[in-house]
Structure 1
Amino acid sequence: MEPPSGFWASLLSLLKFLPYFCGLLILGFIKGVLLCPWACLIMAIGLSTLILGLWPMHLIWTYYCIIRTKLVGPVVKFLLLIAATAILIIWLIIGIPGSVFAGLVYGFLAPIMATFGAVGEGKEKPFVHCFVDGTWSTITGSCTVVRDVKDLLFHSYFSIMDDLRLQKHPDGKPYEIRVLDIPGALIAAACGLLLDGIMFTLISLYKCPVMLFKGWKRLIQDMIGREGPFLETACVPFAGLAILLWPFAVVGAVLASILSSIPLGAYGAVVAYQESSLIMGLAYVASSVSIFDEYTNDVLDMAPGSCFPRYKYRKSKDDSSRGQSATISRPSSFNKDKQEGKRPPSRVTSFKNSIDEFNPFKLLDHLFTECRRQGEELVNKGLIIMKDIEETKSGKVGSGVLNVGLPAYVILNALLRSAKANSDGLILSDGSEITSDNRPRHTLFDWFFDPLMVIKEQIKAENFTEEEEEYLKMQVLLAGDPNRKGTLPHVPSLNERKKAEIEAFARRLQGITKSISRYPTAKRRFDVLVKALMSELERTMGGSQSTNGSQAQRLRKSVARMLSQKSMGKTANIRDEDPEAQMTSSSRTP
């Protein structure tokens, strides 16, 4: 949709748009008022029950894991116990009021957003959807939020604590701290919290009117000219709502700035400890005010630089023993002289590209869709058996064939596909490609995507043969079950070094997959996957032992025939002429 040209055309478009927008806003407001109490009731009762019910278990298990871990020494354990106690008490205090507040916000805003979304381009029967959308979906969404929080508090939390309890330092020596440097670090942290808390608050309050009026000016200019967020019809309601809610965004930015003083001020303790100097810690505390002031000037497009002093708070540039560079470069302000030669970004850029970009939840949906498709194939091959599903449903194993091996197997196939195609990113099974241009701009996604790209390049450099790739796939799939690792296919070309490299790849992929399983909504999707694979297994096997035995016998015959023909040097012909042998080349040898 092209924006209107000319002042009168823009004014006419604005006058036509305002009643339309106000009507949707009033309708969404009415739906939000009606549904807000019910959503708040569901989320408040559900989340509060989870917090209160699991809090004793969290307390006991946290203490147990910290005491039993071999990753840290006694002094660090003592400090962790104190910190964990404080965090658990704070969680109990803010968790229950926070659940009520979250229910109010979600129950009120979800119907409003759904009302505006019902009139987007491509929607059929928009008038009906204006009244229907955001009603029942808000109620079910509240239940989904409670379910996902339950998975985080029960599944993800205990999985993380188990890793803490079972991990060991690579050198066998636990992490320990220097006790004599603790007092200076605590003094630096106290000074940082006090000074940064006061100064950050004053700076934020001083600059909040600038943010308020500059934001309003930009949004109103875009609204009159139908530019920026007002260009696309689907985005117009949300951009108009942004004008009304902009003061709340400014208040939120001020509160976020004040809260940011806590970690930045407390970081003075880290500097004082790393440098073994209280003076350096205090120098950082004073410099953090200048850093914050200069950063806010850059964000608000104010005069660069800061009137506050900046001190050196690192001793040496080559102080690698502490893992930190001596001086942290001051955040560079926008140099206006350098920006003069650059063309500013267009304000009429379409938002369609950003809407079509990948997001982490879409990728999570794609992962579990592939897990279901490839899992059904593995069920038909006999590589996923009823024992795997039963153990996963009962929770007896934390990293089995199904809950860790299968997602890692799917990710490995995508990496192999991308490596063979010489892709700079990751090619999915539907042909779409994730690159640096369309990748999700999300910190959590970076934790997974960047290591996967490193593994892809390493796999490309190894140049595995087809037999070695199949061995790697089975290693990734079955490494979670030690009793079945002995059934991996035999590859004569593998030596001990190659096997060790393949096992290292498998461990890293399974570690990444285990981290993905802690992602919000992952557990809910995984439960749906388990039910689908169980239905497929029952349909394929018929629930009878005779079927299992006949399939195992067929697999044994296929593998035996394949190995005998390989020994005569006919491997290539087998792949071309016998699809069954090719299919079973990646299965278990009896």
Structure 2
Amino acid sequence: MEPPRGFWPTLWSFLRFLPFFFALLLLGIIKGLLIFPWTCLIMTTGNSALILGLWPVHAVWTYYCLIRTKQLGPVLKLVLSIGVCVALFVWPLAGILGSIMAGIVYGFLAPVMATFDAVGEGKSSQFLHCFVDGTWSTIKGTCTVVRDLKDLLFHSYFSIMDDLHLQSPPAGKPYEIRLLCLPGALFVGVLGLIIDGFMFSLIALCKSPIMLFKGWKRLVQDLIGREGPFLETACVPFAGLAILLWPLAVVGSVIASMLSSIPLGAYGAVVAYQESSVRLGINYVLSSVSIFDEYTNDVLDMPEGTCFPRYQYRKKGPTPSNSFSRPASFQRQETENFPRATSFKNSMQDLNPFKLLDNLFSECRRHGELLVAEGCITREDIEEAKLGKVGQGVLSVGLPAYVILKALLRSAKADVSGILLHDGSEITSDNRPKQKIFDWFFDPLMVIKDQLKAENFSEEEESYLCKLVLLLGDSERVKNLTSQVPPLNERKRAEINAFARRLQGITKSISRYPTAKRRFDGLVKSLSEELEKKMGISMSSNGSSHMRRIRSGIGRMLSQKSMGRTISIQSEDKGEEPANDVISPV
């Protein structure tokens, strides 16, 4: 909806909007008050049971993996053992308190947001949805949070610890710490906590009045003009509450600034240790005050620069200057009026990493059904995944890596700057999600895409790479696959194996994402149904390895190009001779 232009249309729109806003806000608050006790109860009970029930297992297994790992030296193991002890002591308390707060906040705010979202443009039966939306969906969302935490504590934790326990150290040399550098690093860390704690608090307190009045001015202007956070209906209640509660937001910012001095000041110990210099560590402590002052100037749209000095705190690197790049999120065009804001909701959807995860598993389902029909994914793979076994990882790791490789090959052939998805959309460095965790996956995949483009593999080599990525965890099938591909020289074979291992490593990291396990379970169920439909196989619920009789009396031969594996399938009719179906897993 286009916001009105001009004083009188804007004033009339504002006065007409106020009763509508307060009615929806009141309804949302009532729904939130009715829902949040249940969400708090569900989340607190479920998460607490998981945290406390698994705490002994996590404690024992963490120390076992820490002691047995070959990636860490003895001194580093001793230091980490102390840190792990503190973390294990704090984790139950922090997890339970966080669950209580999350249950209250989510249970109250989700119905309020759903109430305003129900009257958005293009929605039907708006009056009914104002009362219904955000009730049962919030309860289900709370249960989903508990399930994701269960997957995180069961699947992700043990996967990470297995890597620590089983993998060999890089270059055969374990990580270790230098004992002689520890006293100086500890001294710098304590000094950083004192200096940065005092200076950050002083700077935040001095600039808090500026933040208070500038925030009020901008929010009131956006409210009158229906711009900025007031442009989207779903965001109106929170933007309206921000005007009333803005002083609390300022107080919270001051407290957050004080708390931020703890990790930033303590990081001076890391600098002193890395550079083996107490002087450079102190230089960082003093320079961090300058960095914080410049950053707050940019956030508050104040003149750039700072009166605090900036010192060189790295032996190698550019000389620091007093220029500090303004964050893109705070840049603003200087016009006569405040610029119109883009659709906040659409921007969130376009950059939502969960949508990309949904796209990944949608492609896994599409390719998985094709691979099931071809026999590349077998009954044993699906049964193994249904039982939650790690096994060969053909479904849990191989299939997602196969899909990602297909996207990278498609992008390399199309010569695009980003990653081209199946639906034609492209993920680039500009529109990708800005979360730091996404950088761990996106940047390495872009490097692999460029390397694939430079290699310019033939069709046979691409086919071999795709099958190798899918089956890398199954040594028997990989051995048979290798014997059937065209002859490759040692260099080319080593490059293809390196690509496959790197893609599977990245995919294994993606599988630890909190929501990945839940989506993966849905994928396994879909492929199990597809296997029954395509091949007439009824999967047993307890994961037994036998095959039920074929219902329609199928007696034809299913042969594929690659290695064959013969299984005997009895016909449904007792007097009929058994038929041999050759199902190729590749």
TM-score (norm 2): 0.88
| CA distance in 2: counterparts of 1:78 and 1:327, whole angstroms | 37
* Counterpart residue identity of residue 353, structure 2: P
Per-residue deviation, 1:552: 10
* Counterpart residue identity of residue 267, structure 2: Y
Per-residue deviation, 1:391: 1.9
C-alpha deviations, 1:361-417, integer Å up to 9, x for none? 001111111111111111111111121122223333266101000000111111111
- Secondary structure in 2 matching 1:150: helix
RMSD: 2.8
Structure 2 matches for 1:471-482, cutoff 5 A? 471-482=464-475
| CA distance in 2: counterparts of 1:345 and 1:406, whole angstroms | 52
CA contact (8 A) 2:306 2:322 kept: no
- Secondary structure in 2 matching 1:171: helix
| CA distance in 1: counterparts of 2:375 and 2:151, whole angstroms | 30
C-alpha deviations, 1:290-312, integer Å up to 9, x for none? 22122111211223333333333
| CA distance in 2: counterparts of 1:350 and 1:300, whole angstroms | 21
| CA distance in 2: counterparts of 1:71 and 1:312, whole angstroms | 33
Per-residue deviation, 1:486: 1.6
CA contact (8 A) 2:460 2:486 kept: no
Is 399-408 or 439-448 further displaced after alignment? 439-448
* Counterpart residue identity of residue 421, structure 2: L
Per-residue deviation, 1:88: 1.5
Per-residue deviation, 1:492: 2.1
| CA distance in 2: counterparts of 1:175 and 1:93, whole angstroms | 31
TM-score (norm 1): 0.88
Unaligned residue ranges in structure 2 (runs of 5+): 538-546, 565-581
CA contact (8 A) 2:310 2:320 kept: no
Which residue does the alignment assign to 1:565? none
| CA distance in 2: counterparts of 1:9 and 1:340, whole angstroms | 26
Which residue does the alignment assign to 2:396? 403
Per-residue deviation, 1:247: 3.6
- Secondary structure in 1 matching 2:51: helix
C-alpha deviations, 1:456-508, integer Å up to 9, x for none? 11111111111111101100000011221122162324222111111111011
Find the partner of 2:559 among 535, 555, 561: 555
CA contact (8 A) 1:116 1:238 kept: no
1:25/1:419 CA distance change after superposition, 3 Å: same
Which residue does the alignment assign to 1:539? 533
CA contact (8 A) 1:291 1:331 kept: no
CA contact (8 A) 1:229 1:351 kept: no
Is 152-161 or 489-498 further displaced after alignment? 489-498
Task: Say how many residue pairs are matched.
Answer: 554
Query: Could you say which structure has the higher helix fraction?
Result: 1
Structure 2 matches for 1:506-521, cutoff 5 A? 506-521=500-515
C-alpha deviations, 1:6-53, integer Å up to 9, x for none? 211111110011111111111111111111111100011111111111
C-alpha deviations, 1:128-178, integer Å up to 9, x for none? 111000111111111111111111122111111111122223221111121
Structure 2 matches for 1:234-253, cutoff 5 A? 235-253=235-253
Find the partner of 1:486 among 449, 467, 479: 479
Per-residue deviation, 1:435: 2.3
C-alpha deviations, 1:247-292, integer Å up to 9, x for none? 4433333333222112111111112112222232223222222221
* Counterpart residue identity of residue 450, structure 2: E
CA contact (8 A) 1:195 1:285 kept: yes
Per-residue deviation, 1:345: 11
| CA distance in 2: counterparts of 1:384 and 1:434, whole angstroms | 29
1:588/1:29 CA distance change after superposition, 3 Å: closer
Which residue does the alignment assign to 1:322? none
Is 68-77 or 204-213 further displaced after alignment? 204-213
Which residue does the alignment assign to 1:581? none
| CA distance in 2: counterparts of 1:212 and 1:480, whole angstroms | 58
Which residue does the alignment assign to 2:213? 213
Is 13-22 or 279-288 further displaced after alignment? 279-288
C-alpha deviations, 1:224-251, integer Å up to 9, x for none? 1233333455554453344344344333
Find the partner of 2:494 among 476, 492, 500: 500
C-alpha deviations, 1:413-453, integer Å up to 9, x for none? 11111111111111211222222332222222221111111
| CA distance in 2: counterparts of 1:279 and 1:435, whole angstroms | 41
Matched, 1:432 2:425: yes
* Counterpart residue identity of residue 75, structure 1: V
Which residue does the alignment assign to 1:470? 463
Shift >6 Å, 4+ stretches: 339-346, 545-552
CA contact (8 A) 1:488 1:588 kept: no
Which residue does the alignment assign to 1:229? 229
Structure 2 matches for 1:285-364, cutoff 5 A? 285-314=285-314, 316-317=315-316, 325=317, 327=319, 332=324, 347-351=339-343, 354-355=347-348, 357-364=350-357
1:498/1:333 CA distance change after superposition, 3 Å: closer
CA contact (8 A) 2:401 2:504 kept: yes
| CA distance in 2: counterparts of 1:551 and 1:477, whole angstroms | 29
Which residue does the alignment assign to 1:196? 196
1:331/1:88 CA distance change after superposition, 3 Å: farther
| CA distance in 1: counterparts of 2:232 and 2:44, whole angstroms | 37
Which residue does the alignment assign to 1:448? 441
| CA distance in 2: counterparts of 1:435 and 1:309, whole angstroms | 37
Matched, 1:386 2:379: yes
